[in-house]
């Protein structure tokens, strides 16, 4: 028992420091590997059976963390039975008092409404776990099937229209995120895009820190670890033998700042070995927008160091279509292997439905208007004018009827853009936290 007391004395101080951190929004954000979970459970079990009230109050932070981590693993009807500690009814109720005390002390949400809708004691623990492990595979599947190229609003619209797509606690987690749903989903999209068979949790986290420099990382490490495991789990496909999941990396529209032109970047692709014949295999890319179609090919080669079949990344310059009356809302990209009868994958990339595109100052397209810096670049038709904010414009190579507007917010809270044909104006607001400019009234700029 003395060893358990010494362990908890040190461990609880560490958890207190974790709970004080600004980036810990939910108790489940605190990382706890399985070995530490077991050690914590053993230590609490030793002490609580001696004097439940005294030790549960003394180490309340550790006890509540244990219950939240138990919810991550076992949130169903056997929640209490999975614990080594035997809680009687009064003790279960007392843990709720301790939970409320911890939440008040460290500024955590108490999920009062959710507790009334579900289990009074257990539901808040589940909410603090984020998405429980049991629901994560369903979230991964829905995201893979319905999330398209950074278009967060379209994905959220799908969830609103078909709430059955995600399970109850996943929906609660997304609701809890509120304004942070946009950056969370964009960060999760980054994780799925950079995934490879040899990716580690640390690799993914470093990539997130690089891609979202200066922003809080909202994706728990647990999600990444579970995603890697999920990707390596065979999936059953009708009419086929069990195969490993495969995700093709989406092409991205970007602005080449040096060349002053729009480009379509097609990333390196890993090709499943069962699709490779072994001689002069290639991917055929068909790009279509505004009624015009182009074709490009990339050859498949074997990397002898990694034993993978890959294609090179390529960058294509986008050109203004012959007719400006045709639809520019999407760029369609289809990939085929060896000939156009062997379909591989396709993407619909949101483009310029309102005759403009917003980029950040690195040239990255901003589908959800998440701006992490003080400047934006507006690619816009000639009839769109920037009428407030510091701005200068330049021509766009291959787009004679469009201009690039470099806009600095400065001390302004909003920059106004006007369509001189329709008279419609757009007020791009710079928000606190993750900078997500949006139209006044709460409508995101790119999705108005």
| DSSP labels, 39-91 | HHHHHHHHHHTT-HHHHHHHTHHHHHHHHHHHHHH--STTTGGGSSS---HHH
Class at the top of the CATH hierarchy for domain 248-350: mainly beta
Residue 443 pLDDT: 40
Residue with tokens 């602005």: 255
Rg (the chain; Cα; Å)? 26
Confidence of residue 149 (pLDDT cuts 50, 70, 90): low
For the stretch 3-15, pLDDT in tens is: 998 999 999 999 9
Every domain of the chain and the residues it spans:
2-128, 133-235, 248-350, 356-447
Model confidence pLDDT, tens digit, residues 16-64? 999 999 888 899 989 888 899 999 999 999 999 999 999 999 999 999 9
Cα 175–123–12 angle (5° rounding)?
100
**What pLDDT, on the 0 to 100 scale, is given for residue 257?**
93
Average pLDDT, the chain: 85
Query: How many angstroms separate the CA atoms of 250 and 326, rounded?
Result: 24
pLDDT of residue 117: 75
């Amino acid at each position: 028992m003395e060893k358990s007391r010494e362990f908890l004395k040190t461990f609880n101080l560490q958890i207190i420091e974790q709970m004080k951190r600004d980036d810990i929004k939910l108790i489940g954000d605190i990382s706890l590997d399985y070995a530490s979970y077991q050690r914590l459970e053993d230590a609490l079990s030793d002490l609580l059976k001696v004097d439940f009230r005294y030790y549960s109050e003394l180490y309340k932070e550790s006890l509540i963390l244990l219950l939240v981590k138990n919810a991550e693993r076992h949130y169903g009807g056997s929640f209490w039975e999975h614990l080594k500690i035997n809680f009687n009814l009064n003790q279960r109720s007392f843990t709720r008092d301790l939970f409320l005390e911890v939440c008040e002390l460290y500024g955590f949400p108490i999920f009062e409404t959710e507790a009334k809708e579900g289990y009074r004691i257990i539901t808040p623990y589940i909410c603090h776990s984020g998405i429980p492990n049991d629901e994560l595979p369903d979230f991964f599947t829905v995201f893979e099937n319905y999330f398209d190229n950074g278009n967060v609003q379209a994905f959220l619209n799908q969830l609103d229209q078909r709430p059955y797509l995600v399970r109850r606690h996943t929906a609660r987690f997304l609701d809890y995120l509120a304004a942070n749903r946009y950056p969370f989903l964009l960060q999760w999209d980054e994780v799925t895009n950079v995934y490879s068979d040899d990716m580690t949790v640390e690799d993914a986290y470093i990539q997130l820190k690089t891609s979202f420099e200066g922003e809080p990382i909202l994706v728990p490490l647990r999600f990444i670890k579970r995603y890697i495991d999920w990707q390596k789990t065979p999936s059953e496909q009708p009419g086929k033998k069990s195969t490993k999941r495969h995700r093709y990396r989406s092409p991205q529209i970007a602005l080449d700042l040096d060349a002053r032109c729009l480009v379509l970047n097609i990333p390196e692709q890993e090709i499943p070995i069962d699709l490779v014949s072994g001689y002069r295999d290639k991917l055929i890319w068909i790009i279509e927008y505004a009624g015009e179609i182009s074709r490009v090919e990339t050859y498949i080669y074997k990397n002898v160091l990694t034993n993978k079949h890959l294609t090179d990344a390529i960058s294509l310059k986008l050109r203004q279509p012959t007719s400006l009356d045709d639809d520019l809302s999407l760029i369609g990209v289809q990939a085929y292997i060896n000939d156009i009868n062997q379909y591989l994958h396709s993407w619909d990339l949101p483009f310029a439905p309102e005759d403009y595109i917003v980029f950040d100052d690195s040239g990255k397209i901003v589908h959800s208007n998440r701006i992490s810096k003080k400047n934006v670049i507006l690619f816009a038709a000639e009839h769109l004018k920037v009428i407030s904010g510091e701005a200068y414009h330049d021509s766009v190579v291959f787009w004679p009827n469009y201009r690039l507007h470099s806009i600095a917010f400065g001390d302004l809270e909003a920059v106004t853009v006007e369509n001189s044909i329709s008279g419609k104006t757009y007020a791009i607001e710079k928000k606190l936290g993750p900078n997500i400019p949006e139209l006044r009234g709460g409508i995101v700029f790119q999705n108005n």
